[in-house]
Amino acid sequence: MIKLVNVVKTYDGDVKALQETTLEFQEGEFVVLKGVSGSGKSTILSLIAGLLKPTSGEVIVDGKQISKLPDHFCSEFRRDTIGFIFQRYNLIPTLSVRENILLPLLPKNLAKEEMQEKFQRAVQLFHIQHKEESLVKNLSGGEQQRVAIARANVNDPKIILADEPTANLDAKLSLDFIEIMRGLKVSNRTIILATHDPLFFDLDFVDRVIEVKEGQCY
């Protein structure tokens, strides 16, 4: 389903973030990319999401060469296929929970009822319905994380990418997050999670752990 073929990513011409890498992820697979900061995990996620173009090589998702797509087609692809959970959540603090979660649906011009239905499903699934009118800046870290997950899922994406999702959470909230991921795995999403948190390395529902070290995958 997701293929990286001989992908190299270099920043500013000389910082080699990813050495020539070939990787494949199957549909419904839960893969953990483990490695220290700067090892190249986030680069892999950004390449799959089409947020970055490789320096050379191909990134193919669902038979489509994402790395060759013009930017605005890449945005459409991302909107329809990928849910991205960022380390710092990347929510808009001055908007409410509802507005943040509905954001990915706005460009699709859906009917009001359909948007409401998707919104309700997302907030109920991630237990955030009691906060739907609160401003995001007034929420705790754990609540913000749930909003970020709800936003990433509101479009029912086939693929979920999570970049250090528990870096800003305490142990209890991290365990809560793991349970949410378990639920998503059951719904047959392809999930790729980049982390250096050992909590994820021995989980029963994780299909594969790939170690990323100095831009190479092991």
Partner 1 sequence: MLLTPEILTLDILNGLFLLFGSVAFYFSVRILLYYDASATTPLQYRLEKQSYLVSTIIKFIFALKIPLFIFFIFTLDKISTMLPGAMCAAGVVNATVYGTPLLMLKILNLYLFAYWIVLNNEDMKFEDRRYLHLKFLVFVIAYLLLLVEILLQLALFFSIDISSVVDCCGAVFSTTNGTYMAELLGAKPLYILSLFYGVFTFIIIAYFIKNRYLFSLLNLLYLIIALVSLIAFFGTYIYELPTHHCPFCLLQKDYHYIGYFLYIFLFIGTFYGIVLGVISFNKREYLQKFHISMIFDTLYLLGVSYYPLAYYLKNGVWL
Contact residues for partner 1, defined by CB under 8 A = 6, 8, 53-58, 67-73
Alpha-carbon span 42 to 44, nearest angstrom:
5
Q: Choose between 67 and 195: whose C-beta lies nearer to partner 1.
A: 67
Please, which residue, 69 or 191, has the CB nearer to partner 1?
69
Q: Which of 12, 6, 20, 4 is nearest to 214 (CA)?
A: 20
Q: In the bound complex, what is the minimum distance in angstroms from residue 67's beta carbon to partner 1?
A: 7
CB 23 → partner 1: shortest distance, Å?
15
Q: Which is nearer to partner 1, 7 or 184 (CB)?
A: 7
Least CB distance to partner 1 at residue 59 (A)? 9
Look at residue 119 and give its three-state secondary structure: helix
C-beta separation of 115 from 102 below 8 A: yes
- All residues at 6 or more sequence positions from 39 whose CB lies less than 8 Å from its CB, including other chains: 212, 213, 214, 215
CA-nearest of 104, 93, 85, 87 to 136 is: 93
How far, in Å, CA of 173 to CA of 42, rounded? 22
5 vs 95, beta carbon nearer partner 1: 5
Question: Given the complex with partner 1, which of 69 and 169 has the nearer CB atom?
Answer: 69
Least separation in angstroms between residue 31's CB and partner 1 is: 23
Residue 55 Cβ vs partner 1, minimum distance, rounded to whole Å: 5
**Where does 76-131 show beta strands of DSSP type E?**
82-85
